[in-house]
Amino acid sequence: MSETLHAVSVEVNGRPRSARVPARLSLVDWLREDLFLTGTHVGCEHGICGACSVMLDGQPVRACLMYVVQAHGHRVTTVEGLAKPDGSMSVLQDSFCETHGLQCGYCTPGMLIATQALLNSNPDPTEAQIRDAIGGNLCRCTGYQQIVEAVQLAAERMAKEAK
């Protein structure tokens, strides 16, 4: 049986993308399997781990709990969209490397999305605010401390750059 396909247009990392997709296709599966944007990870597939976080119109959401058809007409930013236009790492990504904010890297795309969204709305977050922002993202390796340090370092650097 062939499934009904629905036409969707979604802006992904600044590029308009159009596709015909079944209603049941999750946003994260589409990003990974059709657009080959495999930076976004899939962990639990039921909303617990945060590995699949992407920004929807600038706000972090779980891509495993959305269907592609629901993103029609919206803007999606994945971890690939965080790098600078020339492909080099963003300030936040560099800071994660330097403070050892990652080990196996499974949670990292979700962490980057969650913390970049935080910095976009609050360039000088307190430690409590950083911890709150990553509260929905599980990491099995780092113990979170280095991730918090990465965000603090990035905030400092971004403040210097802005001067």
Partner 1 sequence: MLATHGESAKLLAGGQSLVPMMAMRLVRPGWLVDINEIAVLKFVAVEKDVARTGACTRQCVVERDEALAARVPLLRQALKWVGHIQTRNRGTVGGSLAHADPCAELPLVAQVLGARMLLRSAKGARTLEAEKFFSGPMATSARPDECLEEIHWPAWSWRRTGSAFTEISVRHGDFAMVSAAAQVAIDGDGRCVRAAFGVGGAGGTPLAFPKIAARLVGTRLDDAAVSDAAHAAAAETQPGSDLHASAEYRRHLAGVLAARALREARERARSL
Ligand X SMILES: Cc1cc2nc3c(=O)[nH]c(=O)nc-3n(C[C@@H](O)[C@H](O)[C@H](O)COP(=O)(O)OP(=O)(O)OC[C@H]3O[C@@H](n4cnc5c(N)ncnc54)[C@H](O)[C@@H]3O)c2cc1C
Which residues would be at the binding site for partner 1 (CB under 8 A)?
23, 45-48, 50, 53, 56, 59-62, 64-67, 69-70, 114, 117, 132-133, 135-136
Which amino acid appears at position 12 of this protein? V
- 11 three-state secondary structure: strand
- Tell me if 19 contacts ligand FES by CB under 6 A: no
As a whole number of angstroms, the distance between CA 128 and CA 106 comes to 23
The answer to whether 96 touches 150, Cβ cutoff 8 Å, is yes
- If binding is defined by CB under 6 A, does position 70 make contact with ligand FES? no
Question: 73, 105, 123, 135: which one contacts ligand FES (CB under 6 A)?
Answer: 105
Q: Judged by CB under 6 A, which of 6, 11, 22, 45 binds ligand FES?
A: 45
Quote the least distance from Cβ 48 to ligand X, whole Å. 5
Residue 135 interacts with ligand X (CB under 6 A): yes or no: no
11-42 burial, b at 16+ Cβ within 10 Å, e below that, comes to: ebbeeebebebeeebbbbbbbbeebebebbbb
Terminal alpha carbon distance of the chain: 60
Is 44 an interacting residue with respect to ligand FES (CB under 6 A)? yes
Decide: is 47 part of the binding site for ligand X (CB under 6 A): yes
Choose, by CB under 6 A, the member of 5, 33, 34, 47 that binds ligand FES.
47
Shortest reach from residue 23's CB to ligand FES, in Å? 19
Rg (CA), the chain: 16
Using rule CB under 6 A, residue 48 touches ligand FES: yes
Q: How far apart are CA 94 and CA 154, in angstroms?
A: 8
Contacts with ligand FES, residue ranges (CB under 6 A): 42-45, 47-52, 62, 64, 102-107, 139-142
